[in-house]
Amino acid sequence: MEKPEIPQKSPIVTEMDAGTYFWCACGKSTNQPYCDGSHNGTSFTPVRVTIEAQKKVAWCTCKHTENQPFCDGSHKDL
């Protein structure tokens, strides 16, 4: 099983507008935390996220969270 790359060991915390987003699961995207298609040719697929109303979120960028796509603190154990 492939393991994702770890672009950074801390989340990206940002205020998000309502909408649909695609979270990078492979760690290869140059547009973290969002997918840019870099997963092509791997076993990874982006995670589709629908945010219903504006809110602050903590996007996981270590790619090891159990709460995809949001940070659950897993980066502390890497």
pLDDT tens digits, residue range 55-77?
999 999 999 999 999 999 999 99
**3-state SS, one letter per residue, for 18-41:** CEEEEECCCCCCCCCCECCCCCCC
User: In a 3-state reduction of DSSP, which class is residue 47?
Assistant: strand
Structure tokens at 55: 């809110």
Q: What is the pTM of this model?
A: 0.93
pLDDT at 53: 98
Q: What is the pLDDT of residues 1-57, one digit of tens each?
A: 799 999 999 999 999 999 999 999 999 999 999 999 999 999 999 999 999 999 999
Cα gap 56→40, rounded to integer Å = 29
Q: Spell out the residues 6+ positions from residue 66 whose beta carbon is closer than 8 angstroms to its own.
A: 72, 74
Cα gap 20→66, rounded to integer Å = 20
pLDDT at 48: 98
